[in-house]
A = this chain, B = another copy of it.
Amino acid sequence: MQRAHSEVAWQGKTLAVRVETYRHGDQEVTREIVAHPGAVGIVAVEDEQVWLVRQPREAVGVEDLLEVPAGKLDEPGETPLECARRELAEEIGKQAEHWELLHRCYTSPGFTDEEVHVFLATGVTDVAERPPADDAERIEAVRWPLSELDELIADVHDAKTLIGLLALRARRG
């Protein structure tokens, strides 16, 4: 595939839409693409419990969506792992000794370049001083026992959270 044309069709504060034309042999296709900086999600396990957050997600009309701690790669030059460390501290006031990338994936490759890195964090302890967080007042931290991981997985409706928890389940056998 060869990109023949690209233009920014709309520029917002957090998102932009590009309209692009590609050639596949003698065919041409047009794609509307939402540009996204990428994101991270963190499966943080402490004392046989996994840390989750509940928060309002206006885009999907849900008051209290259950997710792993997560955030956007919106600081210049920040790596996914650095972002994950920052978000874990901001969202639930924790740090972790061991970090491992479980999966990286495109959330919806038909229309956005968003890529999410999902990490497993273990050796979790409180941070000495909790950094300030955007929207923190609307984020509720929740602990869930790993003995009820299957029930949790059945209740989750966020893609990165499902991937992280299903991967955790796979590794625990």
Given contacts A10-B10, A32-B12, A32-B15, contact A59 B166 (CB under 8 A): no
A67 to B107, CA, bound (A): 12
- The reply to whether the CB of A112 lies closer than 8 angstroms to some CB of chain B is yes
Given contacts A24-B138, A58-B20, A159-B105, contact A112 B112 (CB under 8 A): yes
Q: How far is the CB of A20 from chain B (nearest CB, A)?
A: 7
- Count of A interface residues, CB-CB < 8 Å: 63
Interface residues of A in 27-56 (CB under 8 A from B): 27, 29-34, 36, 39, 56
Q: Tell me if A107 and B108 are in contact (CB < 8 A).
A: yes
- The reply to whether the CB of A128 lies closer than 8 angstroms to some CB of chain B is no
Determine which of B24, B106, B137 lies in contact with A158 in the assembled complex, contact meaning CB atoms within 8 Å: B106
Interface residues of A in 120-173 (CB under 8 A from B): 135, 137-138, 150, 153, 156-160, 162-163, 166-167, 169-170
- The reply to whether the CB of A57 lies closer than 8 angstroms to some CB of chain B is yes
Q: How far is the CB of A49 from chain B (nearest CB, A)?
A: 20
Given contacts A163-B166, A170-B170, contact A57 B112 (CB under 8 A): no
Q: How many copies of the polypeptide does the oligomer hold?
A: 2
A58 to B29, CA, bound (A): 9
Q: Tell me if A12 and B9 are in contact (CB < 8 A).
A: yes
A3 to B59, CA, bound (A): 11
Q: Tell me if B170 and A15 are in contact (CB < 8 A).
A: no
Q: Tell me if A159 and B12 are in contact (CB < 8 A).
A: no
Given contacts A106-B157, A157-B106, contact A113 B61 (CB under 8 A): yes
